[in-house]
Chain A
């Protein structure tokens, strides 16, 4: 048998449970706010805004890839700089020998000096062509584990040059869509002509040459060397262009890095000031709830019977 009461009462159990539910809810909210204030991040980014959270994950992935490209590009920048330095060195050596060949300051009876200078230039150029960066040869094309060129000196045969490196130039991914073919190879005509020129001088029997023959030798060397140096200037210009492209890309990647960080922070970050104010408000509410719970607990007819 059921009957509807005419007096609406508040169940003692329900009153207690109601206060407990309120306290539990407020405590959970206070804990969430405290965590957000402590970490500066939203406790549940997906609950806050699920589509934005997915964008944040994508932003993190883009940022990680961008950072990795930035790191490797900075290493590549160093490699290009070393390559440019080596080429400047080779150019300097070539020009010094060219000057020697052009000026005519060296006489026929000083042919051996000329030859020794040629040998010295050859060794220096070869040494620079065999230089490495981070353990990888810079002028060997894709065979970075191999020296670019070696001098074969087995008398009485003439001194020759053995090109060991690959003719396929090095390339590098500098971002998701761009590949930079930056490699400069010892097999390029510029180096071949320079080395061929000094090689001619090294292999010439200057001791038996007449002045005319010596002048002819120097003229040949000069022509070949000049051609090689002009080609080297072109290579240097191309490398400089690559360095510029890379530097621009690095600048762009620095800017992107900031953009991705801001995007991720905007989505995942909690507004610490606002959260702190809400936490303070929640503390006040909790105190008030405890106060009311205690007062209501003390307010009973039983105390007056």
Chain B
């Protein structure tokens, strides 16, 4: 029967329009949700001429997705690194802000210049001790700041590892769900969620994915270490004592002997934890050692200690690690600790003439002496006067370079992310145009139904 077929075909058109309306309304309702992928309905024509739903598709460009995830990993690495470094270097300040070690060493030197002209003047002596205490306090304070940032990095490593494991576990659960048949809309929703989880994982590590025919996503690091294979998870673990990151039994630590990760926040945090912050600490210790040794050699007190001490003890190269956190002014020179500032002039030796500035001059000369202690890579042949600017300038340069790298990554990442978002995201105007088309189709099919129905009525009336 031709008319009954026409009725069936028109009814199928109404059904398809209903599904299309549902998908469009889903698109519009989720248009402002980042990560939501625009869906579209493809239709097929049955041999009877009826319209049927073919598939519900996600708007995805796999090349853009791969590029965007790689950019996301790179950006997470660079920005984590830059933020970690900046959290510490904020305490160094700009040259015009006089609270850096360079400014403190400068103050100590100028107060010694004044004292060399008035070696017996109490106020000038006190100024030297005060400047020396400021210099020691600055190094101790910077060491504490560095320790705080290191603790924060350690904590973030644990948080990120936990979050990455959660994402991997959820992905494994979704892989299990994907392995059983689902209706078309549920299937794309699961795929959306899985893509979101992989996006999240790419912020922690640089990864690659393999998707099988069933839609199950396996995740590996860029170097090939397994993270999620179907429903099996290789949990990531961080060892705070050694600073190592593992997935299962594979070492993921950057720069290690295993399959080190090279992107993501975990990579940035590990770089901070294992490389950058310890290097900064070594440089602070080098600065402290140079001060201790320089003044100990220039103006040793009768007990062999100099203007600065290692928590009361004389300098020992074997104990240089952590020295910047222990440096203090010799208590025998500090009136606040019961000492006498006049020992700066006498070195604790009785009978030194009041106008004898030879010990003060020797301390001034120490600033022009080449530093012989290990400086943590600040450079060879530096004098004590040049060491502090080199330390501040070097560490701030590392920060500036890290921020520039992060900014470059951000610009590159934003371009690809924007392209991906445009490709995957919802244009409300476009959806409204599609809705207009569905509306027309629906109205036309309804009209066909009415017309065919009228025709049938006419036929029946004629009988």
Residues of A within 8 A of B (CB): 1-5, 7-14, 17-18, 21, 41, 44-47, 50-51, 53-54, 56-58, 60-61, 64-65, 67-69, 71-72, 75-76, 134, 136, 140-146, 166, 168, 170-173, 176-177, 179, 183, 264, 268, 300-302, 305
Return 28 A-B CB contacts under 8 Å, by A number.
Answer: A1-B188, A4-B61, A5-B423, A8-B422, A9-B427, A10-B427, A11-B426, A13-B33, A13-B421, A14-B425, A50-B400, A54-B392, A56-B95, A57-B95, A57-B393, A61-B102, A75-B117, A136-B355, A142-B355, A144-B120, A173-B116, A173-B117, A176-B367, A264-B95, A268-B94, A301-B428, A301-B429, A301-B433
Q: A57-B392, A65-B106 are in contact. Are A3 and B59 (CB under 8 A)?
A: yes
Asked whether B96 lies within 8 Å of A268 as measured between CB atoms, the reply is: yes
Interface string of B94-127 (1 = CB under 8 A from A): 1110001011011101110110111010000000
Contact A168/B389 with A2-B62, A14-B421 known, Cβ cut-off 8 Å = no
A-B residue pairs, 9 tightest by C-beta: A11-B425, A54-B393, A50-B397, A142-B353, A57-B389, A68-B113, A72-B117, A142-B355, A46-B396
State which of B150-158, B356-364, B441-449, B453-461 sits at the interface with chain A.
B356-364
On whether the beta carbons of B429 and A65 are closer than 8 Å, the reply is no
Closest chain B CB from A270 CB (angstroms): 11
Q: Which of A46, A134, A302 contacts B399 (CB 8 A)?
A: A46
Q: Is the CB of B113 within 8 A of A143?
A: no
Nearest CB in chain A: distance from B23 CB, A = 13
Binds A, one of B50-58, B132-140, B247-255, B280-288: B50-58
Interface membership of B432, Cβ < 8 A: yes
Are B353 and A72 in contact (CB-based, < 8 A)?
no
Interchain CB contact under 8 A, A172 and B116: yes
Q: In the complex, A166→B353 CA distance in Å? A: 8
Closest to A56 in B: B95
User: A5 and B400 in contact (CB under 8 A), knowing A10-B427, A17-B421, A65-B106?
Assistant: no
A146 to B353, alpha carbons, bound, how many Å? Answer: 10
How far does the Cβ of B99 sit from chain A's closest Cβ, in whole Å? 13
Q: In the complex, what residue of chain B is closest to A53 when comparing beta carbons?
A: B393
* A75 CA to B187 CA, complexed, in Å: 88
Q: Is the interface of B mostly helix, strand, loop or mixed?
A: helix
Q: How far is the CA of A142 from the CA of B433 in the complex (A)?
A: 98
A2-B60, A53-B95, A56-B95 known; A61-B109 Cβ under 8 A:
yes
Whether B118 and A18, one on each chain, are in contact in the complex, defined by CB atoms closer than 8 angstroms, is: no
Asked whether, in the complex, the Cβ of A1 is within 8 Å of the Cβ of B393, the reply is no
Residue in B55, B107, B110, B397 with the greatest tally of chain A CB atoms within 10 Å: B110
Q: Does B394 reach chain A (CB closer than 8 Å)?
A: yes
Contact A54 B109 (CB under 8 A): no
Determine if B385 is an interface residue (Cβ-Cβ < 8 Å): yes
B226 located at the interface, meaning its Cβ lies under 8 Å from any Cβ of chain A in the complex: no
> Are A13 and B34 in contact, with the CB atoms below 8 A?
yes
Judging by beta carbons under 8 Å apart, are A9 and B58 in contact?
Answer: no
User: Do A46 and B400 form a contact, CB below 8 Å, given A1-B56, A172-B117?
Assistant: yes
Q: Identify which of A53, A140, A168, A302 gathers the most chain B CB atoms within 10 Å of its CB.
A: A53
Chain B residues, CB < 8 A from A179: 361
> What does the 1/0 interface line of B340-383 toward A look like (CB < 8 Å)?
00000000000001111100010010011000000000000000
Contact of A1 among B57, B392, B400, B422 (CB under 8 A): B57
Q: Of A13, A76, A305, which is in contact with the most chain B CB atoms at under 10 Å from its CB?
A: A13
Task: Report whether A136 and B414 are in contact in the complex, using a CB–CB cutoff of 8 Å.
Answer: no
Q: A5-B40, A14-B421 in contact; A143/B427 too (CB < 8 A)?
A: no
The residue on B at minimum CB distance from A301 is B429
Q: Whole-angstrom distance between the alpha carbons of A158 and B110 in the complex? A: 51
| Residues from chain A with Cβ under 8 Å of B120 in the complex | 136, 144-145
Cβ–Cβ contact B353 & A41, under 8 A = no
Pairwise interchain contact B106-A9, C-beta atoms closer than 8 A: no
B276 within 8 A of A: no
CB-CB under 8 A from B428, the residues of chain A are 12, 300-302
Q: Determine the residue in chain B with the shortest Cβ distance to A169.
A: B355
Asked if B106 contacts A76 (CB within 8 A), the reply is no
CA distance A268 to B97 in the complex (A): 12
B141 on the A face (CB < 8 A): no
Partner of B94, one of A44, A69, A176, A183: A44
Kindly provide the distance from the CB of A76 to the nearest chain B CB, expressed in whole angstroms. 6
B426 adjacent to A47 (CB under 8 Å): no
Contacts of A4 in B (CB 8 A): 59, 61
Taking a contact as CB atoms under 8 Å apart, the answer to whether B364 and A173 are in contact is: yes
Q: Are A12 and B432 in contact (CB under 8 A)?
A: no
User: In the complex, what residues of A have CB within 8 A of residue B111's CB?
Assistant: 68
B31 at the interface (CB under 8 A from A): yes
B322 shortest CB reach to chain A, Å: 25
CB-based contact A54/B421 at 8 Å: no
Q: Are B418 and A18 in contact (CB under 8 A)?
A: yes
Q: Are A11 and B355 in contact (CB under 8 A)?
A: no
CA distance A155 to B11 in the complex (A): 145
Q: Answer yes or no: B22 CB below 8 A from chain A CBs.
A: no
Contacts of A2 in B (CB 8 A): 57-60, 62
